[in-house]
Structures are given as C-alpha cells and as structure tokens.
Amino acid sequence: MDETDFDFPAAMAESARSRAGAWAFVRGFAAYWGEPLGPGDGFTEAELDAAERRLGLRLPPALREAYRLFGRRADLTSSQDVLLTPDELRVMDGALVYRAENQGCAHWGVLLDDLALEDPPTVIRPDLADKSQERWEPWEERFSTAAVVMALMEKLLEDHELSDFLELDEELPDGLRELPALGRNFRWYQGPDVLVGVAEEAWVIARARTPEALDALYEAVPGEWLGE
C-alpha cells in the first residue's frame, strides 16, 4: 500500500469517533507500513473465552475486538511495552491489567467497575518506590483509542535502524503535517515516508519507512537525535 492508498489524517480522525473507525485505522495503518493484517494476527474466541473463565469476569467487547484483530502482531503491540496475552491478563487492585511497560515501570488496565461498558475508559498505574502512593490514574477515555495509540507507538519503536528520538526544545517545522489529535499527551505529525509522535511535550519519536526518509528528517528537524 502506498501513500495514496491510505488517507492517514482522515483515518486517524475517524478512529477517534468510533470502534469501527479505530479498527479500520489499524487495518489501514498496518498495510501502509508494509504488512497487512491476516487471520492469524489475532487471538481466537476460544482463547478469550478461556481467559474469561479463568478470571471469572467478562471482557469488554472493545478489548475482545482488538485482541481478535491484531493481538498477536508484536510490531503493533509489543515492540517496547507489552500487550498481555489472554492467559496473562490479571486483576490488580480493582482493575483488569492488559498491558505492561517493558521494565515493569507502569501498567495499563480497565477498572473492574467499567468492564460492563462496550468501550470502557482505561487507566494507568505507575510503579512507585512507595507502594502506598500507587493509584490507578485516568489514561484514555476509550479502550479503542488506547489500542490505536498503542499500535502507533509500538510501530514507531519497532525498527531501531529506522526509528530515532529527539528531546523537544522547540516546535517542529512547518514541513511536517500535523495529524488529528489522538491520545492523551500525544501529538502526531506526518512527513514524506515519516511518522512523528511528540510525547508528553518532551520527546520527539520518529519512524521512517526508508533510510533516505530518516536522513531527510534529520535535515528538516536539526538537533541532537540519539541515533544520528
């Protein structure tokens, strides 16, 4: 799929409006970056049913849909942080944990009180030295949004040869096209064969489709890139 086949801004905007839009974006995004989703890229209904029996609870429809669609695609779920497999899902302090930071510094979940919602809000729990201060904090307003942001970030971080980081000290240049808002504390930009995320207004995370595109980004956005 080339750039003309996937309207990135329109698909991203639609992903924020509905679950159907979110999953359509993931399908298009996966194909745009080179590997369309296939039948074996998700977990089976039987695996998800087994997780429900083990946990004694019902998984929200949005979570089941994401796991069925692309739960096995490591490039969209686990390049850095980790989407738990159905048999790894667990309950921790009033929430169903579905994702973990790669060094255990944080976990993402859905509060048990929200599991009956079709597309529930998500929460995050940082790992603190003082465990008594740990709390579940709001993350994304909908699980489907959290899943799309996960796919974007994990794809950004998938290929160390084509990904790079820059500490943000000024606004990005006009040559990058700002994409629709999506996700808590993220901004997104697109350039020729390049996707750029700004996280927490602190870090620029870039992923290019080719070495030439990454070199062009270095020229367009000068600075102390970690990998340059």
Indicate if 211 and 109 belong to the same structural domain.
no
Cα–Cα dist 192/88, whole Å:
39
CA-based R_g, the chain, Å: 18
In a domain, 225, yes or no: no
pLDDT attached to residue 113: 98
In a domain, 227, yes or no: no
Please say which residue of 100, 120, 149 terminates a domain. Answer: 149
Indicate if 56 and 122 belong to the same structural domain.
yes
H runs (alpha helix) in the chain: 8-15, 19-32, 45-55, 61-70, 74-77, 143-156, 211-220
Indicate if 177 and 139 belong to the same structural domain.
no
Q: Which two tokens stand for residue 224?
A: 């102390």
Indicate if 108 and 172 belong to the same structural domain.
no
Count of structural domains within the chain? 2
In a domain, 186, yes or no: yes
pLDDT attached to residue 170: 77
In a domain, 120, yes or no: yes
- The CATH number of the domain holding residue 139 is 3.40.1580
Maximal C-alpha separation, the chain: 54
Q: What is the pLDDT along the chain (228 residues), one digit of tens a residue?
A: 444 578 999 999 999 999 999 999 999 999 998 799 999 999 999 999 999 999 999 999 999 999 999 999 999 999 999 999 999 999 999 999 999 998 878 999 999 999 999 999 999 998 877 777 789 999 999 999 999 999 999 999 988 899 999 998 878 877 899 999 999 889 999 998 999 999 988 899 999 999 999 999 999 998 899 886
In a domain, 154, yes or no: no
- The CATH number of the domain holding residue 205 is 3.30.310
Indicate if 29 and 120 belong to the same structural domain.
yes
In a domain, 145, yes or no: yes
Indicate if 79 and 167 belong to the same structural domain.
no
Indicate if 128 and 164 belong to the same structural domain.
no
Indicate if 36 and 69 belong to the same structural domain.
yes
Please say which residue of 97, 116, 149 terminates a domain. Answer: 149
Residue type, 87: D
Q: What range does the domain containing 169 cover? A: 159-220
Q: HSE on the CB side for 118, CA within 13 Å?
A: 3
Indicate if 57 and 91 belong to the same structural domain.
yes
Please say which residue of 149, 174, 204 terminates a domain. Answer: 149
pLDDT attached to residue 175: 82
Whether this model's pTM surpasses 0.85 = yes
Indicate if 144 and 169 belong to the same structural domain.
no
Indicate if 32 and 88 belong to the same structural domain.
yes
Cα–Cα dist 37/86, whole Å:
19
Indicate if 118 and 196 belong to the same structural domain.
no
In a domain, 56, yes or no: yes
In a domain, 59, yes or no: yes
